[in-house]
């Protein structure tokens, strides 16, 4: 039971946060520069999924048994571009349609994703022997920053 709790807990918090942020204000920014940030996040997310391979994609932070290791394309530089893409999209919307409640939910999402990343990377290290070397050559989330 404990092994199955955390992956689903992280996904529950992530999707609940995203659902609240998308339901509590418009889903498209009104100013051009925040709309551009949102669009970059959207296309980065799509690119990440396509680069990983749709059959390789999984919502929970546990690799599929038949998962293939991907370290090319965007994954050559960033290990978790889908999480970064999500944050770009919702951060633009939280800033554009600011309330303290939305900011707190965004903070909860950020903290949740950080814990989810740590959990996921432990699982990826066990699943892919080459992941340790990959971690040393790539950024976790944002190139040249984190």
- Res. 1: pLDDT tops 60: no
**What percent of the chain clears pLDDT 70, i.e. is strictly above it?**
99
Neighbours of 2 (CB within 10 A): 5
Q: What is the mean pLDDT of residues 130-143?
A: 94
Q: What is the pLDDT of residues 77-88, one digit of tens each?
A: 999 999 999 999
DSSP sequence for the chain:
-HHHHHHHHHHHHHHHHHHHHHHSS-SS-SSHHHHHHHHHHHHHHHHHHHHH-GGG--SSSS--TT-----SGGGGTBS-HHHHHHHHHHHHHHHHT--HHHHHHHHHHHHHHHHHHHHHHHHHHHH-TTHHHHHHHSBSSSTTT-
Length of the chain in residues, anyone? 146
- Residue 2: pLDDT band with limits 50, 70, 90: low
CA-CA distance, 87 to 140, in Å (whole number)? 14
More confident residue, 144 or 63: 63
Mean pLDDT of 100-112: 98
pLDDT band at 42 (very low <50, low <70, confident <90, very high): very high
């Amino acid at each position: 039971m404990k092994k199955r709790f955390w992956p689903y807990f992280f996904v529950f918090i992530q999707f609940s946060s995203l659902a609240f942020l998308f339901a509590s204000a418009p889903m498209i920014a009104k100013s051009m520069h925040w709309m551009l940030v949102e669009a970059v996040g959207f296309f980065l997310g799509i690119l990440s999924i396509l680069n990983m391979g749709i059959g390789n994609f999984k919502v929970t932070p546990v690799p599929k048994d038949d998962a293939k290791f991907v370290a090319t394309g965007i994954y050559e530089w960033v290990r978790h571009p889908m999480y970064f893409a999500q944050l770009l999209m919702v951060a633009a919307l939280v800033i554009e349609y600011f309330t303290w409640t939305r900011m707190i939910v965004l903070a909860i999402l950020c903290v949740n994703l950080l814990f989810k990343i740590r959990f996921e990377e432990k699982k990826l290290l066990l699943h892919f022997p080459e992941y340790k070397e990959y971690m040393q050559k790539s950024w976790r989330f944002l190139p040249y920053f984190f």
